[in-house]
Amino acid sequence: MVEAFRMSLATMLAIIVSASLVTSMRTQQTVDLESVLRAAYHESGAVTESKAALLGLEEPVSFLSVGDRNASSLLVVLLHGMAFTASTWKFVGTLDALANAGIPAVALDLHGYSGQYASASVRKSLLRQFLQAIGWSQPVVVVAASMGGTVGAPFVLQAPHVQAVAGYVSVSALLSGVGVSHSNVPALLVWGDQDSPNSNKAIAHENMFTTHQKVVLPDAPHPCYLKWPKAFNALLVAFAAGPQAGVTQADQALLAEAGVPALKVHAAASGSARGRAVKASQEL
């Protein structure tokens, strides 16, 4: 009996050690992927840095932005994960891709969700206050990666803000503090196949968003956009711009390379320059 217990304990320890090694390897993979993207990034001059003072916060919110918000009726809001910063969206090329498509965007820098961002109540109202601070009251597409869901999901799913949400992109995002059972907001649910695309969290997202499309990127970790940056950016642009904008041949090739199926769900409204230009040409 004692021997059986020892064998059982040894097995448990082996499983724990193995799991720790896998986690460590995946963490290092993530660090390596971001480092490569950071080193390869070339400044386009399109990305600017700004700050917005919010009521109740000691420090202003830092954010990166691209595009002319005055010339658009749609804004993409990017929320990074815990281990990253707003600059991650720059090095991945997301901000530049949106700018090139004529879609203005902002990427908030939330400092590891610590300090003034550690409070769940602060995160719950943060996006609403931020948009008010920058003077934006028109529709948004919210992109939340991992911990970014604690800021994005409450805004997307809670009235009276829901009517101002054109779409939601969850990249393995947390789904907490929402207080509703379902939503009609169009959603793009993006996962890496090395993450947990069939987990309870994934199922909860699928049940929450009645109009959604799930995309699983191959050989990709939790921050799957690091493995497939160009395909992820092409996917986001296509979702935000809407079906009337179409997908360029170059983006189609990128999506095909990543095994991404045809996009069937799009943001509810498109005020991008690209979307307006295509719509206008169709009406001629």
The catalytic site residues sit at: 146, 195, 222
Residue 22 domain flag: no
- 17, pLDDT greater than 60: no
Q: What is the pLDDT of residue 56?
A: 87
- Kindly tell me the number of DSSP H helices and DSSP E strands found in the chain: 9, 8
* Interatomic CA distance for residues 257 and 250, integer angstroms: 11
Maximum CA pair distance of the chain?
A: 83
Whole-number percent of the chain with pLDDT over 90 = 74
State yes or no: pLDDT of 107 exceeds 90. yes
- Position 231, amino acid: A
Residue 106 located in a structural domain = yes
Residue 8 has a pLDDT of 58
Confidence of residue 158 (pLDDT cuts 50, 70, 90): confident
Q: Across residues 58-77, what is the average pLDDT?
A: 96
| Mean per-residue pLDDT, 240-246 | 89
Q: Is residue 9 part of a domain?
A: no
Nearest to 168 by CA among 145, 144, 203: 144
Average pLDDT over residues 54-59: 92
Mean pLDDT of 253-266: 93
pLDDT, residue 98, reads 97
User: 228 to each of 24, 29, 34, 281, how far by Cα in Å?
Assistant: 21, 13, 11, 32
The CATH number of the domain where 195 resides is what? 3.40.50.1820
Instruction: Give the confidence band of 176 by pLDDT, cuts at 50, 70, 90.
Output: confident
The mean-pLDDT minimum among 18-32, 62-76, 186-200 falls in 18-32
What's the one-letter identity of residue 203?
Answer: I
Side chain identity at residue 209, one-letter code: F
Who wins on pLDDT, 210 or 283? 210
Residues 150, 113 contacting (CB under 8 angstroms): yes
Residue 23 lies in a domain: no
Q: How high is the mean pLDDT of the chain?
A: 86
Q: How many domains does the chain have?
A: 1
pLDDT of 29 reads 58
Rounded Cα distance between 217 and 21, Å, is 23
Q: Is 96 inside a domain boundary?
A: yes
Is the pLDDT at 1 greater than 70? The verdict is no
Does residue 243 lie within any of the structural domains? yes
Taking the model in full, what pTM does it have? 0.85
Residue 88 inside a domain? The answer is yes
Task: Name which residue leads in pLDDT, 3 or 282.
Answer: 3
What's the pLDDT at 162? 65
20 occurs within a structural domain: no
How far, in Å, CA of 238 to CA of 190, rounded? 14
String of DSSP letters for 211-268: SEEEEEETT--SSGGGTSHHHHHHHHHHHHH-GGG---HHHHHHHHHTTPPPP----S
The whole-number pLDDT of residue 244 equals 83
Q: What's residue 284's pLDDT?
A: 27
CA distance 19 to 15: 6
Tokens of 147: 């911990």
Model confidence band, residue 190 (pLDDT cutoffs 50, 70, 90): very high
pLDDT at residue 173 is higher than 60: yes
Q: Give the Cα separation of 67 and 127 in Å (integer).
A: 19
CA distance 83 to 193: 20
Domain that holds residue 215: 33-283
